[in-house]
Amino acid sequence: MTPRPQEPHMLAYAAVSSLVLAHDADAQGVAPNYWKWAADTHMAMVSALLDSELPDVRARASIVAASPRDDGACRQLLKELESLFTEPAGTPASARLVALAQEVESSSRLLVHFGSPLGHETPAPTADVLLGGIVRRPHHGTHPVDAAVVIPFRAAENAHDRVRNLAAVLNALADQSYPRDRYRVIVVESDERTQWRELFAGACDHYLFAPSPGPFNKSWAVNVGVVHGARPAELVCVLDADILVDHHFIERAVERFGHCGTQAHWPYRDMLFLDERASARASARRCLDGAHRVDPEDLRGVWLRRPPGGCVWLRESLFQRLAGMDERFVGWGGEDEDFVWRVERHGVMDRHDDLMVHLHHGRAPHKAEGGVPFYEEVENLAFCTWPFDAEIGRLDRYVK
């Protein structure tokens, strides 16, 4: 027995992932804080690969470093390292690589997922095509439902990727195995002025506009959605506008809450953040080709291990007891951690192992004025101190 990871394939994967992450800024940008926290460990692995005493390893590592998005080259290096790590008695050079890979696998929350070879591309479906392919129209009802899915949203006029992503999300939420009249989908657009109501209002049960001229406040937008659109509902799902769900997403969640003691859950352990090409392919397959779920086999991206946000389910009564999400969080980062920590503290939080994929889009600024990352600014707030009696979801919060 040993407390260090031993599986050769995963150790090889961790080593190649370090090499890709170090040379692909887009891969790092999936979660810049996660990259920052483990960067030294990754870079030690990279140096060992590029300076390895083993000629084949050094040569293949150099190819990947020069072309980090060449999945064929990544797989060749992966195969080379897996074979090397499988040998029962390796050389000192291979033993050093194993030890560093174990360190990466034990400390990093990022793992690159290699997809198909370069050149295999699918045109990204347009928002109009995705919305036109919705199989079951919304009911727009206000009657009690089993589940309400609240989607906070903001997109600039030229943010076509974010608009396309929400269209794919709404398409997938319409294509569910659960009875359509027993769940509700609410989109909350929060911006200085509404830009997308005409496009999306007919594709969800409730479309709300929450006026806010400043940085995006996800927490407030979610609270607006629950207070003014979700109720009455037994369950609430907070879903980001870029998470492509499968055909049984709602049915599976409702069934889980039928088990005694269930109050809240993440439906996933790790989440796959797809790159631009893989996002186009996944959207086309799920929304246009009728696939019930996407197959990650040839979808390139980055796994985030145990992320706190993206999708969380809980009972509406627990949401109400907690006074929803902390509306003091503004900008990028912090609000999801705070929310699920409070859910875990005052309820019961389970985690399941469903496949969930995040669609690619241009990244929001991670730094506030002065260059300080938002996730460092929010750490100065007192986490888990949002008062239980807070008035939440006021539509005039930012109206002067």
Averaged over successive runs of 10 residues, the pLDDT of the chain (400 residues) comes to 87 96 93 92 97 95 96 94 86 91 96 74 90 95 98 94 97 98 98 96 98 94 98 98 98 97 97 94 95 92 94 98 95 90 95 96 66 62 91 92
Token couple for 36: 């920052």
How do the domains of the chain map onto residue ranges?
8-109, 127-380
Which three-class secondary structure state does DSSP give residue 325? coil
Cα(158)–Cα(216) distance, rounded to whole angstroms? 17
The pLDDT, as a whole number, for residue 123 is 85
- CATH for the 127-380 domain, from 3.90.550.10, 3.40.50.1820, 3.40.50.2300, 3.40.50.620: 3.90.550.10
Strand 233-239 and strand 145-153: pairing?
Answer: parallel
The pLDDT, as a whole number, for residue 192 is 94
The pLDDT, as a whole number, for residue 89 is 66
The pLDDT, as a whole number, for residue 93 is 85
Residue in this structure with the two tokens 């699920």, named with its chain if needed: 340
Residue burial 245-265, b: 16+ Cβ < 10 Å; e: rest: bbbebbbbbbeebeeeebbbb
Exposed, middle or buried, 232 (CB in 10 Å: 0-12/13-18/19+)?
A: exposed
Amino acid letter, residue 316? E
